[in-house]
Structure 1
Amino acid sequence: MNIRTIGAYAGSMGPSWVAGAIAAGPATMATLITAGAGYGYDLLWVVILSAVAGALAQYLAMRLGLLTERGIVGVVEDHLGEWWAWLLVVDVVLAAGVAQLVIMNTLASVSATITGVDARLWGVTWAVVLAVGLAGRGYDLLETAAKVLVAGVVVAFVASLFVVPIDPAAVAGGFVPTLPGGTALVAAGILGGAVHITLITMHSYTMRARGWSEDEYGLATFDVGASMLVAFGIYSVAIFLVAASVLTDPELSTVAAAEALGPLVGENAKWLFLLGLGGAAVSTLGGNTIVPPFVLADKLGWGTTVEDARYRALLAAVSLLSAFGSVLGGRVLGQLVLVLALGTVGTPFAIALVVYLLNSSAVPRPAATAANAGGVALLLVSGALAANFLREQVAGGVTPLSGAILAFAALLAVAIVGLFVKYARQRFGGRSAATEWTS
């Protein structure tokens, strides 16, 4: 790839930056603060792994979107059936809906800290801004905002590294894979920020909004690498190093963590951190808002652009409902970590669907061996993290909420096994693909 090609690609990037805007959000930030403040540099290797895994997940989702030129829900319904499509829609809406409320709580809290205006008023204000902006301008506005905000957030957190003392020897030790006791939830949160069902499922829709097809394969691959591997990777490492270097209380909220930096390393670090957090919350909230309308509209046979009034109404409804997040209260940090960990429960199903469809008649050619190996590795890692999270929940006692999560996780696990059985029967059972897709 020559300099001219890179320059042309850089000017045309877009869809993966919307996914990056969601990934580089306050939930990921909260988990990184918890990891760094609670365990020092020990989990640095997980932070780096998350960027690599996130780029791989988006690459697989990109392949499915480009080769089918359709949204993932429609592809699932055509090749697996309506029940599978509805299960995916419910999985996505639950994960994105809970995240929407908690992210709004974070954004309202940050806005209140910076301005002194009540968080609930900020919640209503931001909800109206979302509704007007997204329902009025649609995807184009979101993509532009995502690129600007993600770039600005990365710059803010990288700048904070220059005012925080970093221990190079301890950083080097963080590259050695270790998993201290009690880190299952945090590790799940770190990886869950990059490999998440909302990011995987939305990618086919954002590429359709740009009108990309297989002809843009090189551009789409560059887009994934620049946003998820580079920008998101730098964002994650910078926040983690700041937290691991100077913070020692993993119970801090994201806002409290920023405020704690003032007396520790100066007001510059505090304000850089707060501005970065605010930008991350705005970009994540905007990106997350479009996910439920995308999958619901696709399942109902509606358009997935603002030209369809029904889709526009869905966008406005999700935007306005997010205002309720500002009245949640409670410890934002714990809520954000839990949101990402909950996402890991639904993510293995989305990965299994993508890998399955990439090796089916849904695409004109099957995935390469390396891509399949990466997809299976993602499935195993995300599945193991989800199992660890569920085990910790059971160990703490089964409540109505955790019981519902366990029941849904069991349903998804059965569905994943069913996908493997379908593939094995089609691949090794001697049945024709046409017969298998309709069984």
Structure 2
Amino acid sequence: MSGDTSTGVASVSRGRLGEYVAEMGPSWIAGAIAAGPASMATLVTAGATFGYALLWVVVLSALSGALAQYLAMRLGLLTETGIVDAVETHLGEGWAWVLVSDAVLAAGLAQLVIMKTLADVSETVTGVDARIWGVAWALVLAVGLAGRGYRFLEIVAKLLVTAVVVAFLASLVVVPVDVGSAAGGVVPGFPGGLDSALVAAGILGGAVHITLITMHSYTMRARGWTARDYGLASFDVGSSMLVAFGIYSLAVFLVAASVLHTPEVAAGELTAISASQALGPLVGPSAEWLFLLGLWAAAVSTLGGNTIVPPYLVADKLGWGTDVSDSRYRGLLVAVALISAAGAFIGGAFFPLLVLVLAFGLVGTPFALLVVLYLLNSEAVPERNSRLANVGGVTLVGITAVLAGNFIREQIASGLGGLSGFVVAFAGVMVLAMVGLGGKFLRSRYA
């Protein structure tokens, strides 16, 4: 270790705000993924279908996302290694493979659907065929990430997340919000039964996602952060996940709940593009174009951030470097970027697919959170979690598990097919992994 944690924690109060703003970055890549088209699809669906009733989930998602990233941040800083290496060292190779498989499946599925989203939106804006856009964006990803590396992605993420937040705040300015009805939405409840439970799982899944949790140690390593940077890293998490992502989520949800939850708009048939078009005659063309601009920027930022997740995890598991100076890692980046072009050739509307992607990712998230909590309460770190952090972490595991369970129950109730059957089987494996990990922790704790 290059410094004790007490030095890092004390720096929270001593650090200057200007320095923190200039140096922040790793958590903004997580924020770029969180504030993406999948989250937007779920937030629009929630607002258009249930009005303000699920506002409590939107608020909870920002708080939960910040907590999850804080725990991941602690693990990365205190171990000063990637999460896969930490798992393999302290839990064993089998557990490392389970974590890698869990995260790569979630990130891979998301990659294809996000590329479809970006290609379709690009076609709407320009009139050029979405499949051409898919190939073009894949090449841009491959050249940009493999050639410029992490800092290129970080700069793009900060710029685009800021643009997304500004775009949707501007949309909110021209949209009339019913403050009284919105206040009633902070009371927890599921007004639409299983349908609203699925949407709630999608909302929370956008903020508390296995890809965001597992990538964080690698982005901090790319910046060279250690325990001495605890204050800066904490500010980074708060500014990106709590503030930027929280504002984004509230703005998108309130716009949808205020304008799209009307008899004139068929909520069940909404797509992200049709939602933007529906805003035009209701609140003016400026809102329509601001919405489209925000959707486009969100798709670009999310695709770039999501691309680096599988290469980070696989390279760490195989003992390779996790930056572009290692040609093997660079090859993985290029492969993931180019394969993502296939997403543009997927048929159908991307809007419902985005909700499904978030809910699927949420199924694997409780296990990742348990892994982080396990390591933060073991000999893997020099300073174990506080009781408050553990209570928050366990609560977060419970919330994500319940919402993921509701999603699985909805899949079973609607009849198992190819995709839904795979999702249920995947959930069963994750439950077994969580039970096994819990048993391992109890044996090590009380042996």
Shorter-chain TM-score range: over 0.9
In the alignment, which residue of structure 2 is the partner of 1:240?
253
In the alignment, which residue of structure 1 is the partner of 2:166?
155
Residue 199 of structure 1 deviates from its aligned partner by: 0.2
1:77 to 70, 82, 88: 88
1:139 to 138, 147, 150: 150
SS of the equivalent of 1:330 reads coil
2:351 to 324, 333, 338: 333
Q: Sort the Cα spacing of 1:73 and 1:4 in 2 relative to 1 into closer, same or farther, 3 A.
A: closer
Q: Sort the Cα spacing of 1:4 and 1:397 in 2 relative to 1 into closer, same or farther, 3 A.
A: closer
Residue 404 of structure 1 deviates from its aligned partner by: 2.1
**Aligned mates of 2:291, 2:102 — CA distance in 1:** 33
Matched, 1:126 2:142: no
In the alignment, which residue of structure 2 is the partner of 1:178?
189
AA matched with 1:343? G
In the alignment, which residue of structure 1 is the partner of 2:220?
207
Detail structure 1 runs of 4+ shifted over 4 Å in the superposition. 1-4
1:412 to 413, 430, 443: 430
In the alignment, which residue of structure 2 is the partner of 1:437?
none
Matched, 1:262 2:280: yes
Q: Sort the Cα spacing of 1:143 and 1:192 in 2 relative to 1 into closer, same or farther, 3 A.
A: same
Matched, 1:422 2:433: no
2:410 to 365, 386, 392: 392
2:15 and 2:231 in contact (8 A); partners too? no
1:278 to 296, 307, 312: 296
Residue 3 of structure 1 deviates from its aligned partner by: 9.5
Matched, 1:94 2:105: yes
**Aligned mates of 1:178, 1:188 — CA distance in 2:** 13
**Aligned mates of 1:346, 1:386 — CA distance in 2:** 9
Residue 173 of structure 1 deviates from its aligned partner by: 1.1
In the alignment, which residue of structure 2 is the partner of 1:434?
none
**Aligned mates of 1:239, 1:322 — CA distance in 2:** 27
Residue 166 of structure 1 deviates from its aligned partner by: 1.1
Stretches of structure 2 lacking an aligned partner (at least 5 in a row): 1-11
Matched, 1:114 2:125: yes
Residue 412 of structure 1 deviates from its aligned partner by: 1.4
**Aligned mates of 2:347, 2:67 — CA distance in 1:** 35
In the alignment, which residue of structure 2 is the partner of 1:354?
372
Q: Sort the Cα spacing of 1:339 and 1:140 in 2 relative to 1 into closer, same or farther, 3 A.
A: same
TM-score by length of 1: 0.96
1:13 to 21, 24, 40: 24
Matched, 1:298 2:298: no
Matched, 1:198 2:211: yes
Stretches of structure 1 lacking an aligned partner (at least 5 in a row): 430-439
Residue 53 of structure 1 deviates from its aligned partner by: 0.1
SS of the equivalent of 2:431 reads helix
TM-score by length of 2: 0.95
Matched, 1:310 2:328: yes
Residue 401 of structure 1 deviates from its aligned partner by: 2.2
1:109 and 1:255 in contact (8 A); partners too? no
Cα deviations by residue, 1:46-100 (Å, 9 ceiling, x for unpaired): 0000000000000000000000011101111111111111111111111000000
Residue 200 of structure 1 deviates from its aligned partner by: 0.2
Provide the alpha-carbon RMSD of the alignment. 1.1
SS of the equivalent of 1:155 reads helix
Residue 329 of structure 1 deviates from its aligned partner by: 2.5
1:23 and 1:194 in contact (8 A); partners too? yes
Matched, 1:225 2:238: yes
In the alignment, which residue of structure 1 is the partner of 2:6?
none
**Aligned mates of 2:142, 2:71 — CA distance in 1:** 31
**Aligned mates of 1:406, 1:257 — CA distance in 2:** 31
SS of the equivalent of 1:183 reads helix
SS of the equivalent of 2:385 reads coil
Residue 426 of structure 1 deviates from its aligned partner by: 1.7
Identity %: 68
After superposing the two structures, state which structure 1 stretch, 176-185 or 39-48, moved more.
176-185
Cα deviations by residue, 1:94-120 (Å, 9 ceiling, x for unpaired): 100000010011111111111111111
**Aligned mates of 1:184, 1:198 — CA distance in 2:** 22
AA matched with 1:299? K
**Aligned mates of 1:128, 1:315 — CA distance in 2:** 11
AA matched with 2:41? A
**Aligned mates of 1:354, 1:3 — CA distance in 2:** 28
2:77 and 2:226 in contact (8 A); partners too? yes
**Aligned mates of 2:403, 2:187 — CA distance in 1:** 19
SS of the equivalent of 2:16 reads helix
AA matched with 1:203? H
Residue 258 of structure 1 deviates from its aligned partner by: 0.9
Name the count of aligned residue pairs.
429
**Aligned mates of 2:211, 2:88 — CA distance in 1:** 18
Residue 406 of structure 1 deviates from its aligned partner by: 1.7
